């Protein structure tokens, strides 16, 4: 399958490319790219002062660069900005960043040549993944520069999973190194493609996580003998929220026909909040998700290059602006990180209720032979540690400060840091939910003779038991955690 860029591109399209689909442009989009390139050529010919075209960048924006040096300026921007550090981004994250960058160019206000876009699209089509360090960006610049290195035959990449230097990587996919023209170096490092691409991947993973959070909670609620009246449609409607209504409907559908729930009817006046408020916490996260998705879609619809070129070849316009700064994107990623940190903290609390014999009514720590076996005692420690790490990661990146480029860039929105942090929160949340899912399945093993599960939860239980067996302190639990986490990462659970 191939994603074709025309006018409107959503985060879902970027997610599809991240997971392996190729990307191309419609004829109209190619024409926009070509026109912008011709406008830049005209700007160069007329000598109109334009940031990054015939001037230096950052605090050097008032330093004029003569025409003979403009190509060298573009190359030097790439080399000097490629100063990222740390572990490499995952291939799907790099693919998402490249896809978002192509979308930005497709708006027709950047001025790069068609060859630039064709090379980047070829990276996606032929599985050429530039090595992009994960750290070092205060907003953009460094991540994109490492991708651009490979266009020049510099840097390094993985082609079909094999590590190569940039020149060999290009040769392996049938391309030659590019010599950049005026403004192309700046356009290749500029814009919000990095944060937008990473946020699109985060949304893809968060969507799956939210679906699993409801399914896992339902299995736990059933094992705990929840009081379903708290989830009645009319009761939840007293607090209007699309997210609350969605989660409530999911729980009712998943738990419909449960013998365990029926057996527990009236057992308690009301459940603990980690059980009773699942629609409220999960629903709030869904509402935040929807807002974050809307922000990312607006980012993909936006020109985030500085300067932006427009007008016609005969009457070129170049506008210095701040579209490469993305406060809304950073704030949205921070908000989703907070929401997911909260539902993963709730997951850990539910899991603790399953293993705690003071409240569970089940064997202590869900151990098959309490005393000689520890069961899930230490798995709860792991979930608590990850939940606490998520609390630290939930501190907003968008409020971080920083002064760069000799006071020229004296405000930083940190959208890339926010997106990276969001991805880390999702990593931890997947593990926490996996641990709860394992514990809930173990609890159901002990409840098998009490009453029947609902059809909707039985399907989830069956998926878990298809991956791991009942735990009897007979193997390291870490392997089980990884196996069940795989369920959560691979896709959404079956609907009830």
Q: How many CA atoms lie within 13 A of 32 on its CB side?
A: 21
Give the Cβ contact number of residue 216 at 10 Å. Answer: 30
Dump the DSSP string for 65-80.
Answer: --GGGHHHHHHHHHHH
Residue 337 has which token pair?
């990180």
In 161-255, alpha helices (H): 166-172, 184-189, 193-223, 233-236, 242-255
Catalogue all structural domains in the chain, each as residue range(s) with its CATH number: 2-190 (1.10.275.10), 199-490 (1.20.200.10)
Q: What is the pLDDT along the chain (496 residues), one digit of tens a residue?
A: 889 999 889 999 999 999 999 999 999 999 999 999 999 988 888 877 776 677 766 656 566 666 667 788 889 999 999 999 999 999 999 999 999 999 999 999 999 999 999 999 999 999 999 999 998 887 677 899 999 999 999 999 999 999 999 999 999 999 999 999 888 999 999 889 999 999 999 999 999 999 999 999 999 999 999 999 999 999 999 999 999 999 999 999 999 999 999 999 999 999 999 999 999 999 999 999 999 999 999 999 999 988 899 999 999 888 888 888 899 999 999 999 999 999 999 999 999 999 999 999 999 999 988 788 999 999 999 999 999 999 999 999 998 877 766 656 666 778 999 999 999 999 999 999 999 999 999 999 999 999 999 999 999 999 999 999 999 999 999 999 999 999 999 999 998 7
Which residues contact residue 365 at a Cβ distance below 8 angstroms, ignoring those fewer than 6 apart? 355, 357, 373, 374, 375, 376, 377, 380
Partner residues linked to 395 by β-bridges: none
């Amino acid at each position: 399958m191939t994603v074709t860029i025309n006018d409107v591109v959503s985060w879902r399209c970027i997610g599809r490319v991240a997971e392996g689909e190729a990307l191309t442009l419609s004829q109209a989009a190619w024409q926009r790219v070509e026109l912008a390139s011709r406008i830049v050529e005209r700007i160069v010919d007329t000598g109109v002062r334009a940031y990054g075209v015939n001037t230096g960048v950052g605090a050097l924006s008032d330093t004029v660069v003569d025409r003979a040096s403009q190509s060298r300026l573009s190359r030097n921007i790439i080399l000097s900005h490629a100063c990222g550090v740390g572990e490499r981004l995952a291939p799907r994250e790099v693919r998402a960043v490249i896809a978002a960058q192509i979308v930005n160019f497709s708006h027709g206000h950047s001025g790069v040549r068609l060859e630039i876009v064709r090379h980047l699209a070829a990276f996606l089509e032929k599985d050429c993944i530039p090595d992009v360090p994960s750290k070092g960006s205060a907003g953009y610049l460094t991540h994109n520069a490492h991708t651009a290195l490979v266009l020049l035959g510099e840097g390094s990449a993985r082609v079909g999973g094999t590590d190569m230097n940039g020149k060999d990587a290009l040769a392996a996919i049938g391309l030659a190194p590019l010599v950049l023209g005026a403004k192309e170096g700046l356009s290749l490092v500029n814009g919000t493609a990095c944060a937008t691409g990473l946020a699109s991947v985060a949304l893809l993973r968060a969507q799956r996580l939210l679906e699993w959070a409801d399914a896992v909670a339902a299995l736990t609620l059933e094992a705990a003998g929840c009081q379903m009246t708290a989830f009645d449609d009319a009761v939840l409607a007293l607090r209007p929220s699309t997210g609350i209504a969605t989660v409530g409907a999911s729980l009712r559908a998943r738990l419909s026909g449960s013998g365990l729930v029926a057996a527990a009817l009236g057992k308690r006046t009301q459940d603990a909040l980690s059980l009773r408020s699942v629609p409220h916490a999960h629903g709030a996260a869904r509402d935040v998700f929807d807002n974050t998705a809307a922000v990312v879609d607006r980012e993909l619809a936006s020109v985030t290059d500085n300067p932006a070129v427009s007008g016609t070849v005969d009457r070129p316009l170049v506008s210095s602006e701040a579209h490469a700064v993305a406060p809304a994107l950073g704030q949205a990623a921070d908000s989703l990180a907070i929401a997911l940190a909260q539902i993963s903290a709730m997951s850990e609390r539910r899991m603790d209720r399953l293993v705690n014999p003071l409240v569970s009514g089940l064997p202590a720590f869900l151990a098959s032979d309490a005393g000689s076996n520890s069961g899930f005692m230490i798995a709860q420690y792991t979930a608590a540690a990850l939940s606490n790490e998520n609390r630290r990661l939930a501190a907003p990146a968008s409020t971080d400060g920083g002064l760069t480029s000799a006071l020229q860039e004296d405000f930083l929105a940190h959208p890339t840091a926010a997106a990276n942090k969001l991805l880390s929160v999702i990593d931890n949340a997947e593990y926490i939910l996996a641990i709860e899912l394992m514990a809930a399945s173990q609890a159901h093993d002990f409840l098998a003779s009490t009453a029947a599960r609902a059809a909707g939860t039985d399907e989830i239980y069956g998926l878990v038991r298809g991956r791991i067996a009942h735990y009897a302190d007979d193997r390291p639990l870490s392997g089980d955690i990884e196996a069940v986490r795989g369920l959560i990462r691979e896709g959404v659970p079956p609907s009830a």
